[in-house]
Amino acid sequence: MQSHLSILLILSSAALHALSGIPGLLMSRRTAMSERIATVFSCAATAIGLAGVALVFLRGTDSMVLPWNVMGDPMKVAADGLSAFFIVPVLVMGALGSAYGLGYWPQSKHEDNGPSLRLFWGWAIAGMILLLLARHAVLFMMGWEIMALPAFFLVSTEHHLPEVRRAGWVYLVATHIGTLTLFAMFAFFHWITGSFEMRALAVSEAGLGTLTIIFLLALVGFGVKAGMMPFHFWLPAAHANAPSHVSALLSGVMLKIGIYGLIRFIGFLPDPPVSWGVIILASGCISGVLGVVFAIGQHDLKRLLAYHSIENIGIILMGFGLAMIGRSLGRPLWVILGMAGCLLHVWNHGLFKVLLFLSAGSAIHSSGTRQIDRMGGLAKFIPRTAAFFLIGAVAICGLPPLNGFVSEWFVYLGLFHAASDTTAVAWTAAALAAPVLALIGALALACFVKVYGAVFLGQARQPLESVPHEAPLTMQIPMGVLAGCCVLIGVLPWTVAPVLSRTILSCDIEGLLQSSCPLSTLTPLTAITLTGLALIGVCLIVYYRLSRRVQWSKAPHTITWSCGYARPTERMQYTASSFAQMLTGMFRSVLSPRIHEPEIRSVFAEPSRYETHQDEPVLDRKLIPAAHFIKQLFNRARPLQQGLTHQYLIYVALTVIILLIWTLPILTIFTRLFTR
Amino acid sequence: MHSLLNALLVVVLALNLFALGTSRIITVIKVVSLQGLLLGVMPLLIEEHLALAAVSASAAAILLKGLVIPTMLLRAMRDVQIKREMEPLIGFLPSMLLGALATGFALLFATALPLASEHTTPLLVPAALATIFAGFILLTTRAKAITQIMGYLVLENGIYIFGMLLVGAMPLVVELGALLDLFVAIFVICIMVNHINQTFSSLDTRRLAALKE
């Protein structure tokens, strides 16, 4: 007899997460007790859930049928490797974000929206767990909406601000576009299989045309949620305007649900043509490059991080696209390496992007602004946050001793294998994609040099109202845990290799891999460990020597970018915009920023300003003008509705008369009238 | 019996045109109340032998349409002190012509209806349709609130004539319920008329459009 212990553990974890915010609703708004209860609930739920996930990885897939029949099919839930793999970041984020919220969004300062924030936090987490377990389309969509709607309320937590409301609405519209597309996709599934059970299709069941429609619907529906270009338009504003831990949840965890959906549902489609993989690889490349290019042009710290999410989704999709090409052409090696890169980057991005958002939140908390060009010199005041941000930044750039490097390395290896293949499509795609990945890495590095330099180094650019203080321990511990995980995966990647292998095997429905996934023999994981340790050692030695020398030489303390002036001021420092100017200039054709330049007319120039604005390419340049056009079109119908009762009655009368005439046998009447 | 019924229906049709063509509101009220009285008599003529249902429906209709509602309307008129419909959207003569056209159309249409042949009087369905059209014309072309009530009443009369077709089949409760609805609606509108008059210093319902956001 099989006990369903793992599923029951995970489901009860979801229930506990959903309940975590409810005591806060019943308690007084003044006490800090409610938030502590919520955090304790979340941490307990996460511990229970992680135990369930561990059981899944140890014992294998567990599935059960809930005693509930919907639309003729029993509600089936299952926890296989893929579900369990994606549940891990959800659980981790649920607990860490809740703990971070104790310091970042304390009840004492946010009496109004604190309880609702914690309630919807728990619900969003529970919804995600539910949909990851679901094997019934209705249950899946329920989980999907339980995730998406609370996320709307989380984004619009500070709904008294107009830009927050706007971001919330755009998010709501976008997420429902995705939901609608998924409805269409499930309708096609139901049309083919005759049931709402989520299962793999057989080759004989559907033709290529139908499968391609399902593929495209899945790509759009889940692409909107994942923030794939060009469906990313909701993402920057929503991430920028939400509280920082909510941004972290959206970016680090919720985007990955879109990736999960893609992997799950495209995995169900049998015998994919190569073009699907190429489409995914290409959209990954586009998302990656454009994401990082737009990130460089941003002035708002959280918007910048949001565009980096798009970039990382691009990298994840590149790995998945490579695996898809491997699946079509029957190359197990590419599938293993591509999926390993894709999946590990899902975890890694969940770690370092959350770390970045949380430490950025801490920096914003202490400087009181989100504008990069108004911050500066924060490392002196909040050294630990600065260190955490640095770890996250190094990781997101894919540099060696940290985890971002490992997953990108998998993708690189896979691309190199594909590039040496004889199939023309495959090697062309891979040979084009590998340099793109390198370009993404280089641009990300430039971008984070800009951010770290402008925000944490140098001097404060504005007179500080109060000395910024280091984040409280409740905020530092989550950041510390995440940074530790980044280092752990980066230095000891073989610790996650078994989990990855099991997950990759659980995605392999067609049996291409023949139940063997020798990830650790395919990739030099021990070499990564050695290199990482060596690199860390060298860095420590260099740091030690340099700091000794600085102490010895007694060099004068001065502003970082003083440029040899006798009396430098803070305003002479490089700003983030000027640092990025060369790169934004190179990509001007894509970015096309709006520039307000002063025009000097007389000899004695008047005081003037120079401003650049970077608008959203899809939302601001395409969707909003299109929406305005449609609105204009509908305005023409205005005269039809003026609020006059007479007019409406005339409509009623006209309708009645037209309906009567409709039923009238006009021809017979005419013949009766005009013939005898 | 049927010749009498037909004669009554012709009078009802004539009263429709009369109501459309006159500008004095008191006349319209009287015309409509007369129409109501005639309608009240009709169930007695249709039923071969007098049943309790037909008698009570007839009595209720005569009481409400012929007496109570006109009295209420006359009192409302006295309260707001108006006598004439001054500014119709379409003039009185054109609206009367329109009514005549609608009557012709109704006659034409009723011959095409499949149910017409089965029923005893060929004039019943066209009269109902023509009365409904007349009510619509009153409703859409007149601006004053009181004349609009008359429009609703004429419309309801048309529906009532249609109901004659089913007088054997339709339960008494439905009939009485419809009458009660009508009574309550008129009652409420009469109160509203006073309020509209106080607020806008006019009974022109087009001014109510100013209330929209």
Sign of CA dihedral A575, A580, A581, A582: positive
Q: Characterize the bridge pairing of strands A73-79 and A611-613.
A: unpaired
Quick one: pLDDT at residue B153?
Answer: 87
In a domain? residue A231: no
Q: Is A658 on the interface with B (CB under 8 A)?
A: no
Note whether A643 contacts B211, CB cutoff 8 Å: yes
- Other Cβ atoms less than 10 A from the Cβ of A416: the count is 13
Note whether A669 contacts B211, CB cutoff 8 Å: no
Q: What share of chain A is helix, strand, coil (3-state, %, to 5)?
A: 70, 5, 25
CB A576, CB A450: distance < 8 Å: yes
The rounded distance, in Å, linking the Cα atoms of A2 and B176 is: 68
Note whether B112 contacts A650, CB cutoff 8 Å: no
* Greatest pairwise CA separation for chain A in angstroms: 125
Chain A closest-CA separation from residue B44 CA (Å): 30
Same domain, A282 and A380: yes
DSSP states along A379-402: HHH-HHHHHHHHHHHHHHTT-TTS
Note whether A669 contacts B108, CB cutoff 8 Å: yes
Number of domains in chain A: 2
Find all residues with CB under 8 Å of A108, minimum gap 6, and list them.
A30, A32
Same domain, A379 and A457: yes
In a domain? residue A83: no
Number of domains in chain B: 1
In a domain? residue A235: no
The rounded distance, in Å, linking the Cα atoms of B167 and A131 is: 60
The rounded distance, in Å, linking the Cα atoms of B135 and B137 is: 5
Residue with tokens 């409703």, as numbered in its chain: B139
CB A362, CB A475: distance < 8 Å: yes
A204 pLDDT band, cuts 50/70/90, is confident
Please determine, for residue A654, whether its predicted confidence score (pLDDT) is greater than 70. Answer: yes
Is the peptide bond preceding residue A230 cis, with omega within 30 degrees of 0?
Answer: yes
3-state class (DSSP) for residue A616: coil
A224 pLDDT band, cuts 50/70/90, is very high
- The residue of A660, A667, A673 whose CB has the most chain B CBs within 10 angstroms, and thus the best one to mutate to test that interface, is A660
The rounded distance, in Å, linking the Cα atoms of B154 and B73 is: 14
- Compute φ and ψ for B55, nearest 5 degrees: -65, -45
Quick one: pLDDT at residue A60?
Answer: 83
Same domain, A350 and A419: yes
Please determine, for residue A626, whether its predicted confidence score (pLDDT) is greater than 80. Answer: yes
Q: Give per-residue pLDDT as tens, B140-177.
A: 888 777 888 888 889 888 888 887 777 666 666 677 77
In a domain? residue A448: yes
Quick one: pLDDT at residue B205?
Answer: 72
Quick one: pLDDT at residue B213?
Answer: 57
Q: Tokens in use for A377?
A: 């010199």
Short-list B35, B202, B66, B42, CA closest to B135:
B35
In a domain? residue A46: no
Out of A515-529, A598-612, B116-130, which region has the weakest mean confidence (pLDDT)?
A: B116-130
Same domain, A492 and A409: yes
Out of A320-329, A354-363, A419-428, A541-550, which region has the weakest mean confidence (pLDDT)?
A: A419-428
Please determine, for residue B179, whether its predicted confidence score (pLDDT) is greater than 60. Answer: yes
CB B36, CB B159: distance < 8 Å: no
Q: Give per-residue pLDDT as tens, A488-546.
A: 998 888 888 888 888 888 888 877 777 777 777 778 888 888 988 999 999 999 999 99
Please determine, for residue A641, whether its predicted confidence score (pLDDT) is greater than 90. Answer: no
3-state class (DSSP) for residue A595: strand
DSSP 8-state class, residue A371: B
Same domain, A355 and A502: yes
Where is pLDDT greater, at A186 or A621?
Answer: A186
In a domain? residue A253: no
The rounded distance, in Å, linking the Cα atoms of A354 and A362 is: 12
The rounded distance, in Å, linking the Cα atoms of A564 and A46 is: 54
Please determine, for residue A447, whether its predicted confidence score (pLDDT) is greater than 90. Answer: yes
Please determine, for residue A179, whether its predicted confidence score (pLDDT) is greater than 90. Answer: yes
Q: What ipTM describes this predicted complex? A: 0.75
Average pLDDT rounded to a whole number, residues A426-437: 88
CB-CB neighbors (< 8 A) of A638 in chain B: none
Q: Is A639 on the interface with B (CB under 8 A)?
A: no
CB A80, CB A2: distance < 8 Å: no
Quick one: pLDDT at residue A1?
Answer: 41
Same domain, A466 and A547: yes
- The residue of A644, A647, A661 whose CB has the most chain B CBs within 10 angstroms, and thus the best one to mutate to test that interface, is A644
CB A181, CB A220: distance < 8 Å: yes
- Mean residue pLDDT of chain A comes to 87
pLDDT over 90 for what percent of chain B? 7
The rounded distance, in Å, linking the Cα atoms of A182 and A180 is: 5
Quick one: pLDDT at residue B120?
Answer: 54
Q: What is the CA radius of gyration of chain A?
A: 28
Q: Is A555 on the interface with B (CB under 8 A)?
A: no
Quick one: pLDDT at residue A470?
Answer: 83
Residue with tokens 């909510």, as numbered in its chain: A246
Q: Give per-residue pLDDT as tens, B67-100.
A: 888 888 888 888 777 777 667 777 888 888 989 9
Average pLDDT rounded to a whole number, residues A314-328: 93
Quick one: pLDDT at residue B48?
Answer: 66
CB-CB neighbors (< 8 A) of A653 in chain B: 133, 136, 140
Q: Give per-residue pLDDT as tens, A355-397.
A: 999 999 998 888 888 888 888 888 888 899 999 999 999 999 9
Average pLDDT rounded to a whole number, residues A35-50: 92
CB A124, CB A157: distance < 8 Å: no
Residue span of the structural domain in which A647 resides: 636-676
Out of A197-206, A234-243, A327-336, A638-647, which region has the weakest mean confidence (pLDDT)?
A: A638-647
Please determine, for residue B119, whether its predicted confidence score (pLDDT) is greater than 70. Answer: no
- Other Cβ atoms less than 10 A from the Cβ of B207: the count is 14
In a domain? residue A526: yes
DSSP 8-state class, residue A608: -
In DSSP terms, which residues pair with A197 in a beta bridge? A136
Residue with tokens 């430039």, as numbered in its chain: A446
CB A467, CB A381: distance < 8 Å: yes
Q: Nearest residue of A to residue B109 by CA position?
A: A664
